[in-house]
Amino acid sequence: MGATKDEKGSSDDVSQMEEVKPAKGFPKCIFFILGNEFCERYSYYGMRTILVLYLKYYLHWDEDTATAVYHAFTVLAYLFPIFGAIVADSWWGKYNTILYLSIVYALGMILNMLGAIGTLGNTTVHAVLSSMGLLVIAFGTGGIKPCVSAFGGDQFDEDQDQYRRSFFSLFYFAINAGSLVSTFVSPIIRDEVTCFGDDCYALAFGIPAALMVIAIFSFFMGTRFYYRQPPTGNIFF
């Protein structure tokens, strides 16, 4: 005996209900990425804001040398993203690239902070530590730059366009909030706090170093929640 119209309708309703998937909300792991980005941007701009002052008045380099070093550092920080992108796309994946190079980044911040401690000895020691620190920082910040926002975007399904757009708005806010706060706070710390009778560059660099460690911790805390897309190759080779 054939099914009645009502039975067919009920069957279709059940079938449609089975096909409807529950809506997925905003991925909770995104907040670990946003916290990481805020702290990392504070770290970078908090250091860079007072860098020329440090080179001129603490290391006693002339203005031309200080300016050249500052711009060389900035150029490297925007050159190394090419390296980071290739490594992430070809071998390590975004997650590992962010984690490993963030640790390198933090080590550079610590070197830079150590170079600003007034009791270490002569100017050469400070200059060597600071120069090494700046090179390592440029490598670290440049290496993670192309990966963090892309990794955040990977956490959303194809049907979560609205959530993904919201993430990039929040991500941009975190970048600018970290930059704004650090460019306001770092010069005040350098000027208002004294260390060994002088401007406290060690503390002004130490806080960005600490924030970079917190950035790593924030990112790592979300590890078990992340979706990690495997590397698929890069556009160069």
Q: Would you list the domain boundaries of the chain?
A: 41-225
Q: What is the mean pLDDT of residues 44-68?
A: 96
Residue 20 is encoded by which pair of tokens? 């409807």
Write the single-letter amino acid at 98: I
Q: What is the mean pLDDT of the chain?
A: 90
pTM of model > 0.85: yes
The answer for residues whose C-beta is within 8 angstroms of residue 88's C-beta and 6 or more apart is 94, 96, 97, 146, 147, 231
Residue 121's pLDDT band (cuts 50, 70, 90):
low
* Surface-to-core class of residue 155, CB atoms within 10 Å of its CB (0-12 exposed, 13-18 middle, 19+ buried): buried
209: pLDDT strictly greater than 90: yes
Does the pLDDT at position 55 exceed 90? yes
What confidence score (pLDDT) does residue 235 get? Answer: 78
Asked whether the beta carbons of 175 and 193 are under 8 A apart, the reply is no
> Is pLDDT at 134 greater than 90 in this prediction?
yes
Residue 199's pLDDT is: 83
For the chain, give the number of residues. Answer: 237
Band of residue 18 on the pLDDT scale cut at 50, 70, 90: very low
Q: Which residue has the higher pLDDT, 123 or 80?
A: 80
Residues 6+ apart with CB under 8 A from 169: none
* Higher per-residue pLDDT: 123 or 226: 226
**What is the pLDDT at residue 233?**
86
User: Which CATH homologous superfamily contains domain 41-225?
Assistant: MFS general substrate transporter like domains (1.20.1250.20)
Please report, rounded to a whole number, the percentage of residues in the chain having pLDDT higher than 70: 89
Long-range contacts, stretch 179-184, CB < 8 angstroms, 24+ apart = 179/41, 179/42, 179/44, 179/45, 181/42, 182/41, 182/42, 182/43, 182/44, 182/45, 182/46, 182/49, 182/208, 183/45, 183/46, 183/49
Q: Which uninterrupted H or E stretch holds 195?
A: strand 194-195
Higher pLDDT, 188 or 8: 188
Residue 141 pLDDT > 80, yes or no?
Answer: yes
| CA count, 13 A, side-chain hemisphere, 190 | 23
Instruction: Evaluate if residue 125 carries a pLDDT over 70.
Output: yes
